[in-house]
Amino acid sequence: MTVYLLECYMPDSSEAELGDLVERLSEVAHALSQDGLRVRYLRSTYVPEDETFFHFVEASRTAVVERFARRAELAFDRILEARNATVSPQRKGDPDE
């Protein structure tokens, strides 16, 4: 499966709204999975200065992510394939290694 990023401009979002949104996204992903679609909500990142949300969703294809967003009533600007990069434990500079 592929990880996708949904970019959403959401001005004037309150903390309560953000929590509700994350719950709704999780519930929608679960419901779609129960319907047989391969989709999993991973996490969201909010950038207050830009009033932008980045939602990370794992899915079998872009069309599934679009369906996920529609069902969650989530207006989005873009859907992009995303890849993560992390530092391996050996490269963190731990002097004990």
For residue range 43-52, list pLDDT tens digits in order.
998 888 898 9
Contact 60, 39 (CB under 8 A): yes
62-71 helix and 15-34 helix, angle to the nearest 10 degrees: 120
Place 84 in a pLDDT band, splitting at 50, 70 and 90: confident
Q: Which two tokens stand for residue 42?
A: 């991973």
Place 94 in a pLDDT band, splitting at 50, 70 and 90: low
**Average pLDDT for 79-86:** 90
Q: Tell me phi and psi for residue 36, to 5 degrees.
A: 100, 0
pLDDT, the chain, mean = 89
Local structure of residue 77 (DSSP, 8 states): S
pLDDT in tens, 51-76: 899 999 999 999 999 999 999 999 99
pLDDT at 96: 54
What is the CA angle 95-83-19, rounded to 5? 95
Q: Return the amino acid letter for 45.
A: T
